[in-house]
Amino acid sequence: MKVTADKTTFSLRDEPLCVYGVPEFKRTGELRRLPDDVIAATGISEKLGRRCPGARIGFRTDSAAFTVRITFDTFSIDKGMSIFACQSASVFAGSHIDSRFLGLVSPANYSEMTFERSFEKRREGIEDILIFFPRNELIRDITVTLEEGSELLPPTPYRVDLPVVFYGSSITEGGCCSNHHNAYNAILSRKLDMDFVNLGFSGSAKGEPAMAEYIAGLDMSLFVYDYDHNAPNCAHLRETHYSFYKRFRELRPDVPILMLSRPASASVYKIDNRDVILDTLHRAREAGDRNIEFIDGSTYFGDDSELCFVDNTHPNDLGFYKMATTIEPVLRRMLKL
């Protein structure tokens, strides 16, 4: 479509803009990760259930310049991450694999609920634009203003169009990278040209049956789960991990599953938790499941683990990069890329 003087500004709800990573948006038009019944059944807070880390807006345009404007419904301080990581949108131009980072749309302070930034593509012709939602806040709207006379088209589809669904802890959610596009699942999305859904819930992923059933109802190409970081203890993990797998597998017999144990340095790694996950793997394979894999979280960081964390729990950008580098060949094989 041609951008006319009558309409140069487009909301995230306007076609041909496409919102990725929020299945509930496609179902109900609401920007939220979980419906109310799943929030109630799991005890996850309403804000955690409604904020949308990993969500993206995609479109194509030849507009030489464009402006991104964001309006929040909430604003909160995160003690472990800066405003650049939690309240800023990351903007990329170009194809998914070879995209270039144009910069952040950031509020000027911790009370600015509406803010914007203009960008120049600096390359001629039609290109994909991808905008990562801010990680922590509830979004009222994100708009894009283009130049009059420019073209606005739907985004180029991902090579892996059905998303990979990630379920896990605050680490899955992106804590504590410097910018949200450096979370390990976002890095994998760019490396593998794959859509993804981020169902990381800080302190709140505990393998509940309602969550297994909800996730099983989503469209996906593969399921990744690593919630042992949020298990209160090993006994809880033992009670829930295999049953979570079994319920998901009953509902989705053909979806590949990748299980991860917590990413951790040797000093805090929980071998007992890993052994529970390995028990799930062995039981699944003994029952004939050949569509399931496992990665040991102690293998991500090598001898450089002290460089890979902000607090010996949450990875920094280097830690997330090393996670993505380890996981990439396994996902590539499982997705048959």
Q: Which pLDDT value is given to residue 267?
A: 62
Q: What is the pLDDT of residues 106-163, one digit of tens each?
A: 999 999 999 999 999 989 999 999 999 999 999 999 999 999 999 999 999 999 989 9
> What is the CATH topology of the domain spanning 9-153?
Jelly Rolls (2.60.120)
The predicted model gives 329-337 an average pLDDT of 98
- Cα dihedral value 307, 310, 316, 322, nearest 10: 40
CA distance 33 to 38: 10
The predicted model gives 256-275 an average pLDDT of 84
Residue 177 C-beta-side C-alpha neighbours within 13 Å: 29
Q: Which pLDDT value is given to residue 326?
A: 97
Q: Which pLDDT value is given to residue 304?
A: 82
Q: What is the pLDDT of residues 151-168, one digit of tens each?
A: 999 999 999 989 999 999
Q: How many CB atoms lie within 10 A of CB 257?
A: 21
Q: Which pLDDT value is given to residue 266?
A: 66
pLDDT level of residue 270 (50, 70, 90 thresholds)? confident
CATH of domain 160-334: 3.40.50.1110
- The domains of the chain are located at 9-153, 160-334
φ, ψ of residue 231 in degrees (nearest 5): -65, 130
pLDDT level of residue 226 (50, 70, 90 thresholds)? very high
pTM exceeding 0.85:
yes
Q: What is the pLDDT of residues 312-326, one digit of tens each?
A: 889 999 999 999 999
Per-residue pLDDT at 81 exceeds 70:
yes
